[in-house]
Amino acid sequence: MENRVNNSSAYLHPLMLAGTGSDVGKSIIATALCRIFRQDGYRPAPFKAQNMALNSYATPEGLEIGRAQAVQAEAAGIPCHTDMNPLLLKPSSDRTSQVVLNGRPIGNRDAYDYFRKEGREELRREVHAAFDRLKQQYNPVVMEGAGSISEINLRNTDLVNMPMARYANADVILVADIDRGGVFASIYGSVMLQTPEDRKRIKGVIINKFRGDLRLFEEGRRMIEELCNIPVLGVIPYYNDICIEEEDSVDLQTKQMQATQGKVNIAVVLLRHLSNFTDFDVLERDERVHLYYTNNVEELEKADIIIVPGTKSTLSDLYDLRKNGVAQAIQRAHRNGTTVFGICGGYQIMGREVCDPDGVEGNIKRLPGLGLLPVSTVIEGEKVTRQVKFRFRGDASVCQGYEIHMGRTECLDKDEATAMNIFEEGNHPEGCFVDENCMGTYIHGILDNACVIDYLLAPYAEKKNRKQAFDAESFKNEQYDKLAEHVRKYLNMPLLYQILQHND
């Protein structure tokens, strides 16, 4: 059904997409609604008070936010800003995370310290202020909760779910994942575990990831509405043909595949703290390429190209690589002619040594790297976050990317290597290039640029079969439109607009 409106003058309440659990599809639905509202003549903006993710992005101001909110801003057609994700937690171990507030790191916290009541009100004031600034500029604000709204043991310290919805006076739509099972219990339990005040705020339910004939769930839909006294706004079918950047690395385990014939085989090293895996989205869709994630030494050595990706914990992952034999496998593969390409933490790992004299990452003070690049890295407390424009290997094209890293890398032998890139601003050199089979850079998003991909694949020309260059920007916009069309088809948009305009 086509439920478009064109009424940008109408004020819409802030909308929060809350979840019955993690990975139910809140981020994707938020992305779809940002696109739909934009198509319908509004000026939406995304907001997530607190996000936990290793996949982050640099704003135009050179500050850091969760990648999901950057994607949602892109779908909304507006520049991303730290107000859209004022608090970002980047896990550095099972118990500790780096805390990024308003785009800047303020230190590492363990989970116990972070979730104590002490100091929470200061963070609450910051996320409230960020929301207030967004609300003044955009209509509507599309808010996203985190995990499950039913963690009642965290109710007093929660910054991102129902307390945030109360502050924003937002209408809450509960998102449930039917694919994992237990959808009736998860919806009913999520509603009934709320306080009476918060229960009234939940205005609808979206059931996500449905497989099969929707007519078979009509009775189930009616039962949910009767049990909870809340309308089911839509049952959204599972899709396989729409490509939207993922918020976290949950799906990477499903991409562990073996090398194949007839394509350029590119293996991304599956690091324990792998970050910014969206660096490989464009490459994964290149028809010349078969890309897979692995830490299996045999599969690494079968690859034509090995990419050592970004990581939140360079020294910890380097220690693992040396311990499990992956480091030696990468070195052997390179000696046998495999191209090795490092990005950010992977660039640091490919050098001769990584040092952390101040213990920024932890207790490991120094480790020898893979020794493939003549560089040395010192981990430093100050984080570099910025968007950049550059030229790659003298190519005439102006490329774009972004940096997010803690560390300074210096070339130890300028006779052995040259710069990989030249920044447009200041004409400064960046990265390290030994030859066409060995290079590294700090720039995330470098593989979104066609000239870089073409250069990387050039030695394997006999395996090429793509006839037309891939336009990443057009592809992303096409996917946002496809997602909006898919969600609009199955979501009762007139009822949603009625909810968002109704004065209680």
Closest CA to 245 of 74, 495, 496, 365: 74
Closest CA to 463 of 255, 293, 290, 282: 290
Closest CA to 244 of 43, 54, 80, 486: 486
Catalytic residue among 80, 228, 344, 438: 344
Structure-token pair, residue 145: 């909760």
Sequence-ordered alpha helix ranges (H) in 418-471 = 450-457
Q: Residue 242: CB partners within 8 Å, gap ≥ 6?
A: 479, 482, 483, 486
For residue 84, the SS3 value is helix
For residue 172, the SS3 value is strand
Catalytic (active site) residue 80: no
Return d(Cα 5, Cα 12) in angstroms, integer. 13
Let me know: does 320 contact 272? Beta carbons within 8 Å: yes
> How many Cβ atoms sit within 10 Å of the Cβ of residue 62?
16
Q: Residue 57: CB partners within 8 Å, gap ≥ 6?
A: 64, 65, 66, 67, 70, 80, 402, 404
Sequence-ordered alpha helix ranges (H) in 336-471 = 345-349, 450-457
Catalytic (active site) residue 344: yes
Closest CA to 263 of 303, 205, 315, 312: 303
Edge-to-edge order in the sheet of strand 87-91: 50-52, 87-91, 96-101, 104-110
Q: Is the peptide bond before 368 cis (omega within 30 degrees of 0)?
A: no
Catalytic residue among 81, 290, 334, 444: 444
Let me know: does 410 contact 428? Beta carbons within 8 Å: no
In this structure, the dihedral spanned by the alpha carbons of residues 312, 346, 384 and 392, taken in order and rounded to 10 degrees, is: -150
Q: Residue 266: CB partners within 8 Å, gap ≥ 6?
A: 283, 289, 290, 291, 292, 303, 304, 305, 306, 307
Q: Any idea which residues carry the catalytic annotation?
A: 344, 444
